[in-house]
Structure 1
Amino acid sequence: MLIENKELKETQSIVFDLLFPRRCPVCDGIVPPFVYSDGKILRGGLIHDGCRKKPKPVKGVTCMKCGKPLMKTEEDEEYCLDCRKHVHYFDRGFSLFKYRSISGSIYRFKYAGRAEYADYYAAETVRRLGKRLNNLGIQALIPVPMYEQKRNERGYNQAEIYARKLSEIIGIPTYTDVIKRVKSTVPMKGLDARTRRNNLKKAFNIVRNDVKFRCILIIDDIYTTGSTVDEIAHEFRMTGVDRIYVLTLAIGQTT
């Protein structure tokens, strides 16, 4: 039965890709659903070969709290300047890409309906961070929730789509009904750290008390100051969650 279901999903995936070819998450050009190589017809990839090296992964010396790449002048420090100034409720953050190298892709993922980019993001997450995440004992993936009206207007929550694609690969379930965004907030772009935190006060509520976790992974698209994930982490701390990690697609460099 499992084999039949897998074959059915693969067939459905092929038909969908033929009818609606996926777009490259870097240049947004059409990615061929099939390629011809060594006399064989193979499934196409998730990204153009020429675009693979354009997104810059987070590497080198990073902050031991939020995961931001540290500047050379900070490399002897354990934490970045932001994390030395502010107390965070999460234990450790991980990010996949440097923000500037992937910002256009994430914008289209959020606002232009490019949900298929999540396949590439999830695959790259497993390739680059899979071993580290698997060793953390994570029981649940918690995508940052959107305010219901905003979600309805956009049609989807990009963090949820990313989390679900990641779940399919690593086998850790995604929960979207444990915490909700109960307050509509103004856009965070352009706000300083203090204003961001004030903007998010009482924005999230735990709505299920029958599910208990020891270790969770909060998932979002971009890490800037950590205000959003901190508010969510605080709510989960109040319920007794012992270890809280954060994963985002992109992160800026410490300033």
Structure 2
Amino acid sequence: MQIEDIKEGVISILYPRRCPVCDEIVGQGKGLIHPECRKIIKPAGRIICMKCGKPLGDPDKEYCPDCEKTKHYFDRGFGIFRYRSISGSVYRFKYSGRREYADFYAEAAANYLGEAIRSMHADAIIPVPMYRKKQRKRGYNQAEEFARALGKQFDIPVINDMVIRVRDTVPMKLLDASQRRSNLKKAFNISENDVEFKCIILVDDIYTTGSTIDELARGFRRHGVNRIFFVTLAIGQVV
């Protein structure tokens, strides 16, 4: 038995894994989620916007209304789940210390988006950073936890120190689309001498208007990155 397996076994006894949907304990060796809970969550699906990955109601449409009128700096993006079906899980992942959910999210990414992610041939996965003071208060960055699990799942290096959030911004949920873009101006600092990648995957928890991903993508474009994709846990649905 490997040392890592022994460590995982001890941790699972001291801190039993909880189901990412109902938050009840999942027995050791029983997987990452209760079988009945797996039926509750809804993946983004196959009829999605060809730019941002939002689920579309009209199969004849290629782009969602936002992407039809907005210039994005990323090449393409994907969300794993429809936001409404996973919102409670994402909330606990962010604010209640349920870091172990990341393993399930990465497994789901492999199941639903495996072919798409592998076809990107990404050099690195880069999580959206948190403002340091806020991260210290919370104890961790949920995007970074998901990125690590995703990197392990797909064997892609995770770089978490290339981008620094230099300005604390207003919570995005309180702002409209134009305010979100203004809110993020000069919020990130990319280490100029460290960018040697041609293709990257940006990782965050939720995609709504794309303001955060766009601001980072624009910065990486200036640093010579040719292809920029994103993967998020949850994504809003076109109304």
TM-score category of the 2 structures, normalised to the smaller one? over 0.9
Q: 1:104: which partner in 2?
A: 88
**Coordinate RMSD, CA, aligned:** 1.1
Pairwise CA distance, 1:208: 4.3
Equivalent of residue 10 in structure 2, options 12, 15, 37: 15
**1:15-34 alignment to 2 at 5 Å?**
15-33=10-28
Contact 1:177-1:208 within 8 A present in 2 as well: no
Contact 1:65-1:91 within 8 A present in 2 as well: yes
Contact 1:178-1:207 within 8 A present in 2 as well: yes
For the residues of structure 1 that align with 2:194 and 2:49, how far apart are their CA atoms?
Answer: 35
SS in structure 2 of the partner of residue 135 of structure 1: helix
Please give the TM-score of this superposition, normalised by the length of structure 2: 0.97
User: What code does the residue aligned with 1:232 have?
Assistant: L
Contact 2:163-2:189 within 8 A present in 1 as well: yes
**1:106-255 alignment to 2 at 5 Å?**
106-255=90-239
Could you give the per-residue CA deviations for residues 40-89 of structure 1, whole angstroms, max 9, x where no partner exists? xxx221111111111100113111100001123xx323211001111000
User: Mind listing any 5+ residue stretches in structure 1 that lack a counterpart?
Assistant: 34-42
For the residues of structure 2 that align with 1:201 and 1:126, how far apart are their CA atoms?
Answer: 33
SS in structure 2 of the partner of residue 205 of structure 1: strand
Q: 1:80: which partner in 2?
A: 64
- Which protein shows a greater Rg? 1
Q: Which moved more, 1:129-138 or 1:216-225?
A: 129-138
Contact 2:81-2:235 within 8 A present in 1 as well: yes
Contact 2:192-2:223 within 8 A present in 1 as well: no
Could you give the per-residue CA deviations for residues 116-153 of structure 1, whole angstroms, max 9, x where no partner exists? 00010011111211121111110100000000000001
For the residues of structure 2 that align with 1:60 and 1:218, how far apart are their CA atoms?
Answer: 21
User: What code does the residue aligned with 1:32 have?
Assistant: G
Runs of 4+ aligned residues of structure 1 deviating over 2 Å after TM superposition are: none
Q: 2:56: which partner in 1?
A: 70
Q: How many residue pairs align between the two structures?
A: 239
Please give the TM-score of this superposition, normalised by the length of structure 1: 0.91
Pairwise CA distance, 1:210: 3.0
For the residues of structure 2 that align with 1:82 and 1:71, how far apart are their CA atoms?
Answer: 14
SS in structure 1 of the partner of residue 194 of structure 2: coil
For the residues of structure 2 that align with 1:99 and 1:29, how far apart are their CA atoms?
Answer: 21
Q: 2:31: which partner in 1?
A: 45
Q: 1:39: which partner in 2?
A: none
Could you tell me the percent identity over the aligned residues?
Answer: 57
User: Mind listing any 5+ residue stretches in structure 2 that lack a counterpart?
Assistant: none
Q: 2:40: which partner in 1?
A: 54
Q: Which moved more, 1:104-113 or 1:166-175?
A: 166-175
Q: 1:40: which partner in 2?
A: none
Contact 1:96-1:248 within 8 A present in 2 as well: yes
For the residues of structure 1 that align with 2:123 and 2:184, how far apart are their CA atoms?
Answer: 26
Pairwise CA distance, 1:223: 0.2
Could you give the per-residue CA deviations for residues 206-247 of structure 1, whole angstroms, max 9, x where no partner exists? 124133100000000000000000000000000010000010
User: What code does the residue aligned with 1:70 have?
Assistant: L
User: What code does the residue aligned with 1:128 have?
Assistant: Y
